[in-house]
Amino acid sequence: NSEAKSEQQSQTFIRSPIVVVLGHVDAGKTTLLDKIRGTAVAKREPGTMTQHIGASFLPWKALESICGDLLNRIKAEIIIPGFLVIDTPGHEAFSNLRKRGGSIADIAILVVDVQRGLEQQTFEAIDILRERKVPFVVAVNKIDRIPGWKSFPDKPFIESFQKQEPSVQFRLEEFLSYIIQQFNSLGFRADRYDRVRDFTKVLALVPLSALTGEGVPDLMLVLAGLAQRYLKKRLETKISSGRGVLLELKEEVGLGTTATLILYDGVIKRGDLVVTGGLNGPIVTRVRSLLMPKPLDEMRSPEDKFQEVKEVVAAAGVKLVAEGLEEAIAGAPLYVVTNESEIEKFSKLVEEEIKGVKFEKDVVGVVVKADTLGTLEALIGFLKKNNIPIRVADIGPVARRDLVHALMVKEKDPLYAAILAFNVKILPEAKEEAAMNGIPIFWGNIMYRLVEDFQAWHQAQREQAIKAAFQKLTPPAVVQILPGYVFRRRDPIIVGVKVITGRIRSGVPLITKTGKEIGEIMQIREHENVLEYASEGAEVAISIRSKAMVGRQVNEGDYLYSDIPLDQINTLLEKYDKYLTENERNYLKKLLRFKMGLSSSIEYP
Ligand code: GDP
């Protein structure tokens, strides 16, 4: 009915956007977060809580004092209360801010080192931001390191820039144009933020120094502008049952397992019934308490760091204390249930969402274990992009069960019999079993490195397997009987030969130019030594088990050829071409012609 509707509408409000920081290691993510956090605390507004759990709140008033005159540039009415900045930078936290098909992060700051440009993890971050459709701003960091740069701490970039020497300005522009080019090659248009007209079409680059703070006001301004103009719809929320995601699980003395809940919609209250995801299915539990950090000046001891709150409104980061959280999965969604009749609906929702990530298929592929739902999902995406098939994708430590899967895979294709463990424990019995069965367990906490490690192993194994198969085939080889080196004329024939082409080994059947069978090589000798192989150019003695006789079917100075069946000639030429020398290839082609009846003798060499 319309009355209820209008009441609901009257309770709609605009929440703070949730901001995450991503970028390559050492780009300056932590430093930038510290700067932003420091600002938030320094410009604390009475009545606003700047420190949340897992996040920091930057109220609009604080922004006003940071941005100063710059604010006039965005000319928008101020509607967002501020920013909720997630405290942990990087992929893992971002991955756990997941929502089906997207992210609960509203905006990301991608930190790039001005002098280094885009690096490995920057590319990775761009990929996941694209995939989850999160708009981002690029913080081009460490401008204070540009030779000759004069720092103006905490000033807007555009002010600081104007005060630099022209040659220094030019240097910065050069670095920027390189970064712009890198973005162009990824299909993005990008420009210095003050030259961008349409922020939905062109990526904004904000040059700054996380260390000195110059340019940070500009960054905040661009974020605010983006949020106000383009995210308004997304930021609308109601005073209704809350929705959030478990960013992290943490053991707290006296409290048991607690969760860092990032609430992105609605409200959560003490005593609320909530549904979230657990290792063994959905968890239905009641909020025992909601904790926020106590302001520093009220903290009496390190144990006294939290204060209870009755309710929390989105967007917020809060510590959730409830029974059953030891089973919970980081990255799982959390729903506040206002009506018990909805428990089933929400449980199903949670279950589907988790099943959408975890799986077990009867295919030949690797076993993947990750610590959280978010990292598992990101890892699956990464493996798919690299065309690596997955048999099991699950959360939790590497256990014996995982080896059962790997062993089944080993029977079909040993190249995929491997376990990829992302930031999880490997149980001792699993480790033992893996070692016993030659199943490698790759462990890592940087996604691309973990996948690279697996790929390197996979590639090496593959090469080895190919080489082994190649070496089982009859090798292409041609030898010439050296005149004057006939030691025995009949079975076994013993002659001195020169290897003209390829490589001989024992067991290789030899024929004459016209295809007459001479016999198999028994042994290769060089002086007193028995050789396994003799390669092109070598002069060795060979013994041949033979019905033929030197002087009759074969003579001094004659060429002898390795006799390769037709199907093997084709296999060699098609599959193992890269292992063949030019001479071997030519010989195989001549032998093929002869075997196909296209020539009456082997016209080689
Ligand atoms: P993260 O790995 O991306 O979190 O990078 P950090 O924030 O830990 O920074 C890596 C290093 O770069 C540290 O030694 C920082 O002090 C330094 N750093 C970060 N930002 C700046 C900056 O703007 N200017 C300068 N000169 N150094 C910086």
Higher pLDDT, 388 or 303: 388
Peptide bond into 315 cis (omega under 30): yes
Higher pLDDT, 40 or 131: 131
Q: What is the distance between the alpha carbons of residues 418 and 564, in angstroms, rounded to a whole number?
A: 37
144 CA distance to ligand 1 centroid (A)?
Answer: 11
Burial of 320 (0-12, 13-18, 19+ CB in 10 A): buried
Q: How confident is the model at residue 85 (pLDDT cuts 50, 70, 90)?
A: very high
Whether 89 has a binding-site annotation, put simply, is yes
Q: Look-up: residue for tokens 């002086």?
A: 527
Pair of tokens at residue 117: 């440009």
The two beta strands, 136-141 and 202-207, are parallel
Q: According to the model, what pLDDT value does residue 156 have? A: 92
Whether 544 has a binding-site annotation, put simply, is no
Q: How confident is the model at residue 47 (pLDDT cuts 50, 70, 90)?
A: low
Residue range 299-321: mean pLDDT, rounded? 89
Q: According to the model, what pLDDT value does residue 407 have? A: 96
Whether 285 has a binding-site annotation, put simply, is no
Q: Who contacts 180 (Cβ-Cβ below 8 Å, separation ≥6)?
A: 190, 191, 205
Residue 9 has pLDDT above 60, yes or no: no
Nearest to 226 by CA among 317, 314, 316, 108: 108
27 CA distance to ligand 1 centroid (A)?
Answer: 6
Residue 303 has pLDDT above 80, yes or no: no
The one-letter amino acid at 42: A
Pair of tokens at residue 14: 């605009």
Q: How confident is the model at residue 322 (pLDDT cuts 50, 70, 90)?
A: very high
Can you tell me which atom of ligand 1 is nearest the CA of 25?
2
Ligand 1 shell residues, CB under 6 Å: 23, 25-31, 89, 141-142, 144-145, 209-211
pLDDT tens string 565-598: 999 999 999 989 988 999 999 999 999 999 999 9
Q: What is the distance between the alpha carbons of residues 90 and 358, in angstroms, rounded to a whole number?
A: 22
- Residue 493 falls in which region: left (phi positive, over 0), alpha (psi -120 to 50) or beta: beta
Instruction: Using alpha carbons, list the distances in angstroms from residue 400 to 207, 328, 431.
Output: 51, 22, 8
- The secondary element (H helix, E strand) that includes residue 282 is strand 281-293
> For a substitution probing ligand 1, which of 26, 118, 160, 219 has the most ligand atoms within 8 Å of its CB?
26
Q: What is the distance between the alpha carbons of residues 477 and 561, in angstroms, rounded to a whole number?
A: 6
Q: According to the model, what pLDDT value does residue 70 have? A: 75
Among 240-244, 260-264, 317-321, which stretch is predicted with the lowest mean pLDDT? 240-244
pLDDT tens string 14-29: 899 999 999 999 999 9
Instruction: Using alpha carbons, list the distances in angstroms from residue 213 to 29, 38, 209.
Output: 13, 11, 5
Which residue is closest in CA terms to ligand 1's atom 17?
A: 28
Report the mean per-residue pLDDT for the chain.
Answer: 91
**Helix, strand, coil distribution of the chain in percent, nearest 5:** 35, 30, 30
Asked whether the beta carbons of 324 and 274 are under 8 A apart, the reply is no
- The secondary element (H helix, E strand) that includes residue 306 is strand 306-309
Asked whether the beta carbons of 321 and 309 are under 8 A apart, the reply is no
Q: Output the CA torsion sign for 207, 209, 212, 215.
A: positive
35 CA distance to ligand 1 centroid (A)?
Answer: 11
**Other residues' Cβ atoms within 10 Å of the Cβ of residue 520:** 16
pLDDT tens string 396-410: 999 999 999 999 999
Q: According to the model, what pLDDT value does residue 370 have? A: 96
First to last CA, the chain: 95
pLDDT tens string 418-433: 999 999 999 999 999 9
pLDDT tens string 168-224: 999 999 999 999 999 999 999 999 999 999 988 999 999 999 999 999 999 998 998
Longest dimension (CA), the chain: 114
Residue range 94-99: mean pLDDT, rounded? 92
pLDDT tens string 334-376: 999 998 899 999 999 999 999 889 999 999 999 999 999 999 9
Higher pLDDT, 12 or 412: 412
Q: How confident is the model at residue 44 (pLDDT cuts 50, 70, 90)?
A: low
Whether 88 has a binding-site annotation, put simply, is yes
Which residue is closest in CA terms to ligand 1's atom 25?
A: 142
Q: What is the distance between the alpha carbons of residues 256 and 247, in angstroms, rounded to a whole number?
A: 17
Higher pLDDT, 146 or 467: 146
What backbone phi and psi angles, to 5 degrees, belong to 478?
A: -135, 130
pLDDT tens string 489-540: 999 999 999 999 999 999 999 999 999 999 999 999 999 899 999 999 999 9
Q: What is the distance between the alpha carbons of residues 332 and 345, in angstroms, rounded to a whole number?
A: 16
Whether 362 has a binding-site annotation, put simply, is no
Residue range 291-307: mean pLDDT, rounded? 80
Q: What is the CA radius of gyration of the chain?
A: 35
31 CA distance to ligand 1 centroid (A)?
Answer: 6
Residue 550 has pLDDT above 70, yes or no: yes
Whether 142 has a binding-site annotation, put simply, is yes
Peptide bond into 605 cis (omega under 30): yes
What backbone phi and psi angles, to 5 degrees, belong to 231?
A: -115, 10
Please tell me the pTM assigned to this model.
0.79
Q: What is the distance between the alpha carbons of residues 236 and 266, in angstroms, rounded to a whole number?
A: 10
135 CA distance to ligand 1 centroid (A)?
Answer: 24
What backbone phi and psi angles, to 5 degrees, belong to 10?
A: -65, -20
Residue 311 has pLDDT above 90, yes or no: yes
Burial of 250 (0-12, 13-18, 19+ CB in 10 A): middle
The one-letter amino acid at 484: G
Asked whether the beta carbons of 270 and 24 are under 8 A apart, the reply is no
227 CA distance to ligand 1 centroid (A)?
Answer: 26
Q: What is the distance between the alpha carbons of residues 130 and 230, in angstroms, rounded to a whole number?
A: 17
Instruction: Using alpha carbons, list the distances in angstroms from residue 389 to 136, 309, 417.
Output: 31, 47, 11
